[in-house]
Chain A
């Protein structure tokens, strides 16, 4: 009986210790960088004794899950690494804690971080000094290619003979197209290969992120810089139309069969399985791609090619404290720790993309990995989708209209862009912006 009592007492005691243990929950997407962050965070727990629980949501459900949580004032997450486009909603609807006072108190300066990332991940209204997140994960849409194929002398000479210039990193989208079509349907090592795995996903944001990589490079602007929300002639400019037409041509002539609803994972799969010469994807995946090069596969990486201008689609996220959390103090402690330059360096070393100037400006950074220079180049030319609180309402019609034109082959590019503007006007009117 005595033994049973001791056992009961010990169990009860250990339960009360556990329930009193300091812990926070961090939400992010389920992908390689999240695993790196989990690894890095062990150091935080060792230093502070604060346990960090992670909830990683697969990308297709990420926005739905997190935004529903915020809209319902959920307390599941204390910290959230949310997409750049959410910052408007996070600030306007009061989901995120404003961090200015905390930054001032702890001596965290936003000038220590890359300006493009501070602008994109932290501020609302855009460019103001109101900070709702700390830049956590710099990212942009870029390209990986089969360097081992590109280095084959017979392919190099055949390409040069056909196009009059060297097979290598494409200088612009026209060259990218030439190279993709060069590989399309070609047999290499007894297997049929294809040109490029590009974003065509319909459900969340895939095709929009892909097509804007072309539209930005053609010089598309969302709105009149002098008259906000005036989109006519900007978003559907002749350059924008040409870019969308080009993207469709790229899909039709260069994508592998069945690549009609593809985003991050599908592009990775197509590339890793040796189907394609190029893949479009986020920098976040390059450490994994680079590490997994095997069986003769050698990957090269490059920033989004320019066409009329140099530009790239912004990805990446900032880390925010959720307003509805009961543990804001612990969450802020995590942000304070994460902002430290030494932690930021470790973050990069583990495969995360630090936005801290000490890391990015280090002389050894450009040569630290094969994709580091590309990352630096990209972060200087990034452009993002609308970051308005209504960004989901703005994203959905674009997904539908672009998919309808690019994959479905319905209508013209101009009609697709006009239709998007029509829907966007309705959204801005409902939001009182127009």
Chain B
């Protein structure tokens, strides 16, 4: 039986729904329903481990509790700082590497492959092996730092001053190649005639970079940072393996705290409220960011 015959009598719209129906159902089941359920739970005092105890409606109590808890704001600050430094470093180093690899030289392809290797690893594995690299006694990191500048013994993940930098360094090491790849795609899409015209107009290399390269690559860079921003806002596995959120709570990101509240303390209602707040935050920031990005693109 031909497809045409089989679908005879169905409108185009119906056929369309037939195709997208399973995906929509799947999305409803695994994305929308849990979201709605979490919102519902956030207004209750539900504890998922307290079997037989009926959840009671508590109104906005959980939201007020989350927003008034000093510790939550500390975790948000830790998360904001982690995001700021990782995105900044990844933007600068990623763009720099892309500019470097955009030139033609021997071994370019091999170097590109080697640079992107870290992002192919599992974040949990990266977290575990960096704990060894950071080991003050046998770690390569401390050895290299001391080789260039003798700092003596220092503990990257045991010190509250250094631990936030420890996670920033690892994330930057792992994900700069991603920013680099996206920027490289942007650089390769810049038509050569623009540079040729600039040469004719006697524009310096710096002016070419400021007026041609940067505006062309900026939308790509912003897109990469959007992806990285969303990822780092929910960063969990690498940091848990590396520092467990410690020392104390120096590297306890919002997502780690959320996991502890939801699946260790089993404060389901409270943690649902926290999750909704985090969702609204990232959704809001994401929307504003995309609008800004589109405006830059239009210019």
Query: What residues make up the interface of A, taking CB atoms closer than 8 Å to B?
Result: 64, 67-68, 71, 89, 93-94, 201-203, 256-261, 275, 392-393, 396, 400-401, 403-405, 407-410, 430
A404 touches B263 (CB 8 A): no
A409 touches B160 (CB 8 A): yes
Cβ–Cβ < 8 Å partners of B40 in chain A: none
A68 touches B240 (CB 8 A): no
| Smallest CB-CB A-B distances: 4 pairs | A260-B158, A404-B248, A202-B246, A203-B244
A261 touches B137 (CB 8 A): no
Distance between Cα atoms of A165 and B276 in the complex (Å):
62
Q: B249 in the interface, Cβ–Cβ < 8 Å?
A: yes
Distance between Cα atoms of A401 and B243 in the complex (Å):
15
Q: B186 in the interface, Cβ–Cβ < 8 Å?
A: no
A93 touches B49 (CB 8 A): yes
Could you tell me which residues of chain B, from 233 to 253, have a CB within 8 Å of some CB in chain A? Answer: 240, 243-250, 252
Cβ–Cβ < 8 Å partners of A409 in chain B: 160
Cβ–Cβ < 8 Å partners of A408 in chain B: 160, 246-248, 250
A403 touches B246 (CB 8 A): yes
Q: B157 in the interface, Cβ–Cβ < 8 Å?
A: yes
Closest to B65 in A: A426
A410 touches B264 (CB 8 A): no
Interface centre among B159, B244, B245, B267 (most CB of A within 10 A): B244
Cβ–Cβ < 8 Å partners of B47 in chain A: 430
How far, in Å, is B55 (CB) from chain A's closest CB? 13
Q: Pick from B48, B51, B249: contact of A400, CB below 8 A.
A: B249
A260 touches B155 (CB 8 A): yes
Could you tell me which residues of chain B, from 27 to 63, have a CB within 8 Å of some CB in chain A? Answer: 45, 47-51
Name 16 extra pairs, CB < 8 A, besides A258-B137, A392-B265, A400-B252. A68-B263, A93-B49, A202-B245, A203-B245, A203-B246, A259-B158, A260-B159, A261-B243, A261-B244, A275-B137, A393-B267, A396-B265, A400-B248, A408-B250, A430-B47, A430-B267
A89 touches B248 (CB 8 A): no
Closest to A427 in B: B265
How far, in Å, is B99 (CB) from chain A's closest CB? 37
A94 touches B51 (CB 8 A): yes
Q: What are 25 inter-chain pairs, A to B, with CB distance below 8 A?
A: A64-B263, A64-B264, A201-B244, A202-B246, A256-B137, A258-B134, A258-B157, A260-B246, A261-B158, A261-B244, A261-B246, A392-B264, A392-B265, A393-B265, A393-B266, A393-B267, A396-B265, A400-B248, A400-B252, A403-B246, A403-B247, A403-B248, A404-B248, A404-B249, A405-B248
Closest to A206 in B: B244
Contacts known (A260-B246, A261-B243); A71 close to B48, Cβ less than 8 A:
yes
Distance between Cα atoms of A93 and B51 in the complex (Å):
6
Binary CB contact string for chain B from 156 to 168 against chain A (1 if under 8 A, 0 otherwise): 0111100000000
Q: Pick from B45, B240, B248: contact of A407, CB below 8 A.
A: B248
Closest to A395 in B: B264
B137 touches A257 (CB 8 A): yes
Cβ–Cβ < 8 Å partners of A89 in chain B: 49
Distance between Cα atoms of A202 and B249 in the complex (Å):
9
Cβ–Cβ < 8 Å partners of B136 in chain A: 257-258
Q: B188 in the interface, Cβ–Cβ < 8 Å?
A: no
How far, in Å, is B253 (CB) from chain A's closest CB? 14
Distance between Cα atoms of A202 and B265 in the complex (Å):
16
Distance between Cα atoms of A167 and B79 in the complex (Å):
49
Cβ–Cβ < 8 Å partners of A430 in chain B: 45, 47, 267
B49 touches A257 (CB 8 A): no
How far, in Å, is A252 (CB) from chain B's closest CB? 11
Q: B297 in the interface, Cβ–Cβ < 8 Å?
A: no
Contacts known (A68-B263, A396-B265); A93 close to B160, Cβ less than 8 A:
no
Q: B135 in the interface, Cβ–Cβ < 8 Å?
A: yes
Cβ–Cβ < 8 Å partners of A203 in chain B: 240, 244-246
Q: B260 in the interface, Cβ–Cβ < 8 Å?
A: yes
Distance between Cα atoms of A7 and B245 in the complex (Å):
57
A407 touches B260 (CB 8 A): no
Cβ–Cβ < 8 Å partners of B240 in chain A: 203
A257 touches B245 (CB 8 A): no
A404 touches B48 (CB 8 A): no
Q: B153 in the interface, Cβ–Cβ < 8 Å?
A: yes
Contacts known (A71-B49, A396-B260); A258 close to B249, Cβ less than 8 A:
no
Cβ–Cβ < 8 Å partners of A260 in chain B: 155, 157-159, 246-247
Distance between Cα atoms of A404 and B247 in the complex (Å):
6
Closest to B243 in A: A261
B266 touches A392 (CB 8 A): yes
Distance between Cα atoms of A246 and B297 in the complex (Å):
60
Closest to A255 in B: B158
Cβ–Cβ < 8 Å partners of B137 in chain A: 256-258, 275
Could you tell me which residues of chain B, from 215 to 265, have a CB within 8 Å of some CB in chain A? Answer: 240, 243-250, 252, 260, 263-265
Binary CB contact string for chain B from 52 to 91 against chain A (1 if under 8 A, 0 otherwise): 0000000000000000000000000000000000000000
Distance between Cα atoms of A403 and B266 in the complex (Å):
22
Distance between Cα atoms of A203 and B263 in the complex (Å):
13
Closest to A419 in B: B71
Q: Pick from B157, B244, B266: contact of A71, CB below 8 A.
A: B266
How far, in Å, is B171 (CB) from chain A's closest CB? 18
Distance between Cα atoms of A392 and B267 in the complex (Å):
11
Distance between Cα atoms of A259 and B247 in the complex (Å):
11
How far, in Å, is A260 (CB) from chain B's closest CB? 3
Q: Pick from A68, A71, A258, A275: contact of B155, CB below 8 A.
A: A258
Cβ–Cβ < 8 Å partners of B160 in chain A: 408-410
Distance between Cα atoms of A275 and B160 in the complex (Å):
24
A202 touches B244 (CB 8 A): yes
Closest to B154 in A: A257
Cβ–Cβ < 8 Å partners of B263 in chain A: 64, 68
Distance between Cα atoms of A409 and B45 in the complex (Å):
35
Closest to B160 in A: A408
How far, in Å, is A204 (CB) from chain B's closest CB? 8
A396 touches B49 (CB 8 A): no
Cβ–Cβ < 8 Å partners of B49 in chain A: 67, 71, 89, 93
Cβ–Cβ < 8 Å partners of B51 in chain A: 71, 93-94
Distance between Cα atoms of A202 and B260 in the complex (Å):
12
Cβ–Cβ < 8 Å partners of A403 in chain B: 246-248
Distance between Cα atoms of A195 and B57 in the complex (Å):
54
How far, in Å, is A344 (CB) from chain B's closest CB? 33
Binary CB contact string for chain B from 137 to 162 against chain A (1 if under 8 A, 0 otherwise): 10100000000000001010111100
Cβ–Cβ < 8 Å partners of A257 in chain B: 136-137, 153, 155
Distance between Cα atoms of A257 and B159 in the complex (Å):
11
